């Protein structure tokens, strides 16, 4: 087997990708050769530690370099848990963080490295690092590097920002520059076969959401459109193949590489041009505190947001382009045929709805335990999200958000 190592994004040195060899061998090689690390602290998913031998394989490969480990973090990256890990990593003088898992772990490691560089010992100390009125005027960039070994497609590994939730208020705060993401991301499709379909497929639709909202943005650029389309061409058929055959490692790697291109497209991976996303992301951010996973929010909201924008004649030509691209794919075409949907008379929302239903993912708020009684507050909070404002139909009134929510409530 041959390892491929390359930058994730054209024009940026970091993060770098590694794939082609098993993750334990890649982690051991780069801990020694790339980072010259001798004191590795591992943050591992609880389910991976309990249900697989992945953590033990990683520890065996790293050997006596491992000086500490944290097994499991709660959803939404709680400040209290971040501080626990910060103090533990400091006590063992860690010089490299390795995450094995996804979601909260990735954001957690980014904030941990940030906090270690800024002498954080308590949640009060931590409260001076995120964006907002309490942010310190002078903040140091992280010095401890991170290797991430992801098991989902949420792609937080590729961004230089992170979200962490204050325990007492349940409010999620944004940690930004000079925070940095992982320097190396190791992709191992065989490892992802241990990920439950509910997480793998829903986070895959989150990556699809990155593509679609990039391609349907009013401020699209040719180079970001090309990247997003390339990603979409990997992701959608790849996810459908994964649903049919969990052991299709080629499809799994396609999904992983597609999620990288999706992030490149919407985070300035080409020429630094960042595309503002839309209401699927903006409203989705407000569902997180209600216990809905990021991937699930995209499964529920993305088709409805496309329908809403088209109904208001906001981005019809751009939606039509994405519709033509998806319906020309033979795997997607077969899904539409099986579901009795005529490609010619359908719109983008219809196609996305069919794909998401074929994957068995939730399509309503009711399915994820969010009732009609939550809609008013959801709409109010959504108006404060910048990506609702940059939606192709700028959302500035509560009634606009409620119109979208009514489409997905049951």
CATH number, residue 288: 1.20.1090.10
CATH number of the domain bearing residue 75: 3.40.50.1970
Range of the domain at 312: 196-406
What pTM does this model have? 0.91
How much of the chain exceeds pLDDT 90, in percent?
Answer: 84
Check residue 143 and give its pLDDT.
97
- CA 264 – CA 234 distance, rounded (Å): 14
φ/ψ of 325, rounded to 5, equals: -65, -45
End-of-domain residue from the set 189, 213, 232 = 189
My answer on whether 108 and 45 are in the same domain is: yes
Residue 272 has pLDDT above 70, yes or no: no
Encode 333-367: b = buried (16+ Cβ within 10 Å), e = exposed.
Answer: eebbeeeebebeebbbbbbbbbbbebbebbbebee
φ/ψ of 330, rounded to 5, equals: -65, -35
Q: How confident is the model at residue 220 (pLDDT cuts 50, 70, 90)?
A: confident
Tokens (6 digits) for 393: 């139909």
Check residue 12 and give its pLDDT.
85
> Among residues 335, 347, 345, 344, which one has the least CA distance to residue 304?
347
My answer on whether 185 and 208 are in the same domain is: no
My answer on whether 257 and 307 are in the same domain is: yes
My answer on whether 259 and 162 are in the same domain is: no
End-of-domain residue from the set 140, 155, 189 = 189
Residue 273 has pLDDT above 70, yes or no: no
φ/ψ of 162, rounded to 5, equals: -155, 155
Check residue 239 and give its pLDDT.
98
Check residue 10 and give its pLDDT.
83
End-of-domain residue from the set 189, 209, 243 = 189
Q: What is the dihedral of CA 55, 60, 63, 64, to 10 degrees?
A: 60
Encode 8-37: b = buried (16+ Cβ within 10 Å), e = exposed.
Answer: bbeebebbbbbbeeebbbbbbbbbeebbeb
Residue 182 has pLDDT above 80, yes or no: yes
What are the pLDDT digits (tens) for 112-137?
999 999 999 999 999 999 998 999 99
Tokens (6 digits) for 113: 């490295």
> Among residues 144, 155, 282, 150, which one has the least CA distance to residue 213?
282
My answer on whether 200 and 184 are in the same domain is: no
Check residue 274 and give its pLDDT.
76
Residue 144 has pLDDT above 90, yes or no: yes
Residue 60 has pLDDT above 60, yes or no: yes
My answer on whether 29 and 76 are in the same domain is: yes
Residue 16 has pLDDT above 80, yes or no: yes
Residue with tokens 């390339």: 230
My answer on whether 8 and 133 are in the same domain is: yes
My answer on whether 27 and 170 are in the same domain is: yes
Residue 269 has pLDDT above 70, yes or no: no
What are the pLDDT digits (tens) for 223-256?
889 999 999 999 999 999 999 999 999 999 999 9
How much of the chain exceeds pLDDT 70, in percent?
Answer: 99
Q: How confident is the model at residue 270 (pLDDT cuts 50, 70, 90)?
A: low
> Among residues 335, 369, 368, which one has the least CA distance to residue 352?
335
What are the pLDDT digits (tens) for 296-348?
999 999 999 999 999 999 999 999 999 999 999 999 999 999 999 999 999 99
How far CA 325 is from CA of 228, 284, 318, 399, in Å, comes to 11, 25, 11, 32
Residue 99 has pLDDT above 70, yes or no: yes
Mean pLDDT of the chain: 94
Mean pLDDT score, 371-382: 95
Residue 271 has pLDDT above 70, yes or no: no
Q: How confident is the model at residue 361 (pLDDT cuts 50, 70, 90)?
A: very high
My answer on whether 136 and 266 are in the same domain is: no
Domain count, the chain: 2
Roughly what angle, to the nearest 10 degrees, separates helices 104-116 and 79-91?
A: 60
My answer on whether 202 and 316 are in the same domain is: yes
């Amino acid at each position: 087997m041959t390892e491929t190592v390359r930058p994730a994004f054209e024009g940026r040195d970091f993060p770098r990708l590694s794939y082609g060899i098993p993750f334990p061998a890649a982690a051991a090689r780069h801990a020694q050769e790339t980072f010259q690390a001798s004191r590795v602290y591992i943050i591992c998913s609880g389910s991976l530690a309990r249900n697989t031998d992945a953590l033990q394989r990683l520890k065996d490969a790293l050997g006596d370099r491992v000086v500490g480990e944290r097994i499991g973090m709660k959803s939404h990256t709680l400040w209290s848990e971040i501080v626990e890990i910060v103090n533990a990593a400091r006590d063992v003088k860690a010089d490299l963080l390795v995450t094995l898992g996804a979601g909260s772990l990735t954001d957690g490691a980014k904030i941990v490295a940030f906090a270690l560089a800024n002498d954080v010992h308590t949640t009060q100390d931590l409260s001076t690092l995120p964006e907002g009125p309490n942010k310190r005027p002078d903040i140091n960039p992280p010095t401890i590097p991170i290797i991430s070994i992801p098991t989902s497609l949420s792609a937080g590994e590729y961004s230089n920002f992170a979200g962490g939730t204050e325990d007492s208020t349940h409010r999620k705060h944004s940690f930004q520059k000079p925070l940095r993401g992982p320097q190396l991301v190791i992709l191992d499709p065989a490892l992802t076969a241990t990920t439950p379909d509910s997480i793998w497929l829903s986070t895959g639709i989150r990556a699809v959401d990155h593509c679609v909202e990039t391609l349907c943005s009013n401020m699209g650029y040719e180079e970001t459109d090309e990247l997003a389309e390339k990603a979409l061409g990997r992701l959608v058929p790849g996810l459908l193949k994964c649903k049919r055959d969990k052991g299709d490692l080629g499809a799994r790697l396609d999904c992983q590489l597609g999620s990288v291109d999706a992030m490149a497209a919407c985070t300035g991976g080409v020429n630094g041009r960042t595309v503002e996303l839309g209401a699927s992301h903006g409203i989705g951010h407000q569902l997180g505190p209600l216990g809905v996973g990021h991937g699930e929010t995209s499964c529920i909201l993305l088709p409805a947001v496309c329908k809403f924008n088209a109904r208001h004649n906001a981005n019809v030509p751009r939606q039509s382009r994405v519709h033509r691209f998806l319906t020309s794919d033979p795997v997607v075409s077969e899904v539409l045929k099986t579901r009795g949907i005529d490609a010619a008379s359908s719109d983008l929302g219809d196609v996305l709805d069919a794909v998401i239903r074929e994957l068995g993912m939730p399509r309503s708020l009711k399915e994820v335990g969010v009732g009609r009684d939550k809609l008013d507050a959801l709409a109010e909070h959504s108006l404060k999200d910048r990506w609702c404002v940059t939606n192709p139909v700028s959302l500035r009134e509560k009634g606009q958000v409620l119109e979208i929510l009514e489409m997905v409530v049951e």
